[in-house]
Amino acid sequence: MKFTATQIAGILEGKVEGNPNAEVWNVAKIEEGALGMISFLANPKYTHYIYETKSSIVIVNDDFEATAPIQATLIRVRNAYDSFGKLLAFYDQMTQNKQGVSSLAFVSKTAQYGENLYLGEFAFVGENAKIGNNVKLYPQVYVGDGCIIGDNTVLYPGVKLYRNTVIGKNCILHAGAVLGADGFGFAPQPDGHYEKIPQVGNVVVEDNVEIGANTTIDRATMGSTRIHQGVKLDNLIMLAHNTEVGENTAMAAQTGVSGSTHIGKNCVIAGQCGFVGHIKVADGARIGAQSGILGNIRKADDYMGSPSQPLRQYLVSNARFRHIDEMARKLDVLEKELAELKSQK
């Protein structure tokens, strides 16, 4: 799909400087530009690339002043970085605008769905499921009985929704995500075996949530495992039964959250963090990578380490830990000197 400089300027409300008919069909970093590519310049340290880039079009700020000839056509906008993001969103929407129900898909007769549904090959929609308008279910998506999916939500290939899972509006679930599998509930018995505890709750995902590839969210034992609006979950995250993640919290890859843990609003959680069960994390907490959270976090602050502690305290402790061998040697010397003094009495 090709776009001219004039068309792009219209989308971005910008002004063309150069060839209005210059065409592009892909995007590139300004330093890696080629014919048919569009790039942007926002960071001043990359300015020198604009005089040598091979990109056909470059988006620049209104106040950019060239100090040498530029081969590319320029599109001047108020904010080049924001405008490029807007352009990427437009391009993504155009390329992902799939519609129609494949003859190789299956929709239960009791299911309901709205307008402009896309249902790819071997996708499955179970009994009494309800699907909104402009929903896209890519090939091999499984939507179990009684599931609800809101308007404008996208489920990429291989997403699995167990029964009664609820997904809000404007959500994105990436390939391989599994929502609604049984929580890890087993009761130990006197003879040593484990008796499975039925998991009869569900998973509820509110509006504007994005869930990464191969992330798993277990159904509640009773009630709901709940992901509030605006949450962003990376790939390979595991959320156990009855967990709750507050609005606009972002969580990086390989984080694991044990059952019945409540994470607050606007938290930032780095990769490979681990949370024990039945704890609460305060709104606005920021937790560094590979931290182990073993108890409640009661206030918004930066935390790090396993067990986790306030970042300043962690840095001090870590600095001291690096000298532990030296401290141990000094202690040995002091103990020997003390023993000699005692022997002289």
Task: Respond yes or no: is residue 262 known to be catalytic.
Answer: no
Q: Are 5 and 16 in contact (CB under 8 A)?
A: yes
From the CB of residue 208, how many other CB atoms can be counted at a distance below 10 Å? 20
**Is-contact 111 129, C-beta < 8 A?**
yes
> How far out from the chain centre does Cα 129 lie?
26
**What DSSP letter does each residue of 292-314 carry, written as one string?**
EE-S-B-SS-EEETTTTEEHHHH
Tell me how far apart the alpha carbons of residues 37 and 58 are, in angstroms, rounded to a whole number.
9
Catalytic hit among 48, 241, 262, 278: 241
Question: Which of 266, 291, 294, 155 minimizes the C-alpha distance to 215?
Answer: 155
The span from the first CA to the last CA of the chain, in angstroms, equals 94
* Cβ proximity of 252 and 290 under 8 Å: no
- Catalytic residue numbers, as ranges: 241
